[in-house]
Structure 1
């Protein structure tokens, strides 16, 4: 059986790969239906379908290369049903390379044995 922290880190690696491959629809299963994401400029995206649509819109930009999240820590609650992941993120474009970056915090919840993102907050510190 995979340890919760390892399972979350594996899912994060997979989301990074799907983003780099510009596969927005394949990101849907990683989010609870009512997910909330605060993006780097402070605006809020609510709902899994809206989050996937936002990814698809960014992927349509030919200059877009990737968003990479690099986890620094994953902490679980006492019941092992929720977790907080924190780390650094960077936006990569084909023309500028790594050009926007900052910190993020993701809240994960275990649903039917699978870790899903219930919220994410991205703080832009370099643009």
Structure 2
């Protein structure tokens, strides 16, 4: 994870975590492609940035979970336009935790998330 591109992705992930802590959905979603796919820890999935933004705004309007993703590995493709990230996720205010993986795509010089997969390991 020492390449400059991998560090940019890590910085984006950590900024996204900070936005979650502030319940800033726009701050989190600025890293999502329009056709972003999110697979939740229970296996449910949602497709499309607009729908996921609406889900997150609803989630944050209720008793909001506070969670973060901690990257363990970031690998940038040889072509430099795709990247793999994996790590651990953990709720700070609930018992849920697990592993995650993300696919990043570099678009017009900016790293954006194409998809994320979360697996709950607390059961």
Same fold (TM over 0.5): yes
TM-score, L = length of structure 2: 0.92
Q: Is 2:83 the counterpart of 1:87?
A: no
Q: Which residue of 2 aligns with 1:122?
A: 118
CA deviation profile, 1:48-72 (whole Å, cap 9, x unmatched): 111211211221123x241100000
Contact 1:34 1:118 in 2 (8 A): yes
* Structure 1, unaligned runs of 5 or more: none
Secondary structure at 2:42 match in 1: coil
Q: Which residue of 2 aligns with 1:39?
A: 40
* Structure 2, unaligned runs of 5 or more: none
TM-score, L = length of structure 1: 0.89
Q: Which residue of 1 aligns with 2:59?
A: 58
Q: Supply the distance in 2 between the matched residues of 1:70 and 1:86 (Cα, whole angstroms).
A: 8
More strand by percentage: 1
CA-atom RMSD in angstroms: 1.4
Deviation of 1:27 (Å)? 2.1
After TM superposition, what 4+ stretches of structure 1 lie above 4 angstroms from structure 2? none
Contact 1:40 1:123 in 2 (8 A): yes
Aligned length: 121
Secondary structure at 1:126 match in 2: coil
Deviates more, 1:74-83 or 1:47-56: 47-56
CA deviation profile, 1:86-106 (whole Å, cap 9, x unmatched): 00001222xx4xx10000000
Secondary structure at 1:117 match in 2: strand
Q: Which residue of 2 aligns with 1:48?
A: 49
Question: Which of 81, 102, 106 is residue 102 of structure 2 equivalent to?
Answer: 106
